[in-house]
Structure 1
Amino acid sequence: MREIGEIDATTSQVYRLRVTHATEPVERIAVRAGMTPQDVEAAELRLAGLGLLQPAPGGGWAAVSPETAADTLLATAQKEVLEQQTAIAATRARLHALTGVYLEARSLRSDKGSIEIIEGIDNIRSVMDDLARHCSSSLDVLVPGGGLAEAAIRTSARLDEETLARGVRMRTLFQHAARKHLPTARYAAQISAAGARIRTTGVLPSRMLITDNESAVLPADPENQAAGVVLVRDPAVLGFLCRLFEHHWDRGLDFTAEEQENGPEPTQLERDVLLLLAAGKKNDVIAHQLGLSPRSVSRIVAHLMDRLGANSRFQAGVRAAMNGWLS
């Protein structure tokens, strides 16, 4: 029904006079109120529309209490609300009747030896939602690249806070470049405040999500997101993926840690650059693998060569190894 707006002073005054002077003609009410008869008639029509005035048997209007008017006016709306609540309850009951079917099917899908390919964006979202809802102890995530899209951040932040509120331990590992991505940095601060642990590292092999150390989700093709995802529950494969996450997590830096640009030891980012430099990688390859811009890599390489007193990239690698920086 249409929402009733504020009752203005004119309407309220006419209502008051009609309660005390029910049988008086409009002209007399107008004199008492200091209004024109037309203003009084307009107010009476508004009051009648609200059920506060009803036609009297002998002519004119009879004032009705606000409680009675409300009961009459809202009876239809209350009936509609009751019918909607009944329909909602019936629909909920019909859906809940399938809970047993769902749990049975889910147990079959959760076969400990399974590796399943999930295709189609709707199917992928359904699986991810199911994993998030049933995650009870831990959530570990690898996020390669320079940062998250803002749309993904808006969705993830709310779900992550709900997950953390259930007491789930959450660890997320970004690449170092994410530190320079302001939306991702804000997201990291937000969920860190809610209890998550956030780190960054140099090289990450692939996007990955592990829930409760019981299931993992990987892209079917890291270069083609439309290819779907792989849902892994096989104990042997899952154990390897958990160890892979721990390997990269142990090498990561807390997102809030300040990276020192000078000093006798290289930062973790500089060490990653040195390792790739020593392997003979060019700056553009290093930039791609570390999720940095080629310009940033060139600056880091120049800074390292200056610190090492090296005249070539090969010499920089040798001196870094002699200093123990590559171990």
Structure 2
Amino acid sequence: MLESLGLNREEQGLYEELVSRPPVCAAELADRSTALAKLVELDLVTLVSTDPPKYVVLPPDTALDVLARRRERELADARRKMVELTVRFHGSTTRREPADLVEVLHGDQEIAQTMSRLLLGARHEVCGWDAPPYRDDPNQVNQLEIDQLKRGVSFRVIYDRRGSVDRPGRLAALIQGIADGEQARVGDVPMKLIVTDAPMAFVPFDVHATHHETALLVHDPVMVEGLAALFELYWRKAVPLATYDPQPPATDRPTTAERDLLALLMSGFTDNEMAVHLGWSERTVRKHIDGMRHRLGADTRFEAGYQAVLRGWLGHRG
């Protein structure tokens, strides 16, 4: 069971034995010195300077967790090295056949593994269009993105206004992503797209499919540059996703309904789209907007948005 943490069968057997025993004198373990040395090296067991000296097992919940995290870091480093070597392989001037420039992916598992490889391979930036279909729940946190953000990799994402942002519960997930460091905008995008500075790019094979069974991983630097330029065109046209300050002055805090409504309103949603997203009727949407305008002392929706920004209710990011 502990082979994945670097222990062979003998070392694991000794460790399990020591876990169940009180501190053991060094002399008792003389015939198992090799396995014991490995446990000491991995900080699972330590020698205490008593009289006589004894070996003590460190708390397994702490020691094994540290060891597991170390292995995870080593695995992540190995994956990044794999991506680096893959980029070198596909960037070699001696391999210019079409099959080496575009990799065809088949099935959920291969697509999922490649998506992880793509994100791990980014050095400085990941750009993308977020649009259906989705393999997983789009409202769930992408832990790999959070890990990369912590490493200093920037993420710029355009969320499809009708296929992505208008899903129930999606707004809260997007706001959390922005809080984690993502730059987010809202617009109309034709398909799912991911471009990294590896350079590599991911595109679906059939942009109209309801479930992606086949996709393309582009290695050709010229094609990736073209897709990156296309992303920039859409980025300039997209609207920054409006978010709200969770801690405005206590005497002037927007209600939960006002915060959610403002975020959608400032991101360019129509009354009908806001109604669908919030589960309201269009009449209720207009009623809340009118009430908010009155509270902000604004005659128009534009002025209401301007006043909301001045009061710290909203913050534009990305």
Q: TM-score, normalised by structure 2?
A: 0.49
Q: Is the strand fraction higher in 1 or 2?
A: 2
Q: TM-score, normalised by structure 1?
A: 0.48
Q: Is the helix fraction higher in 1 or 2?
A: 1
* Larger Rg over CA atoms: 1
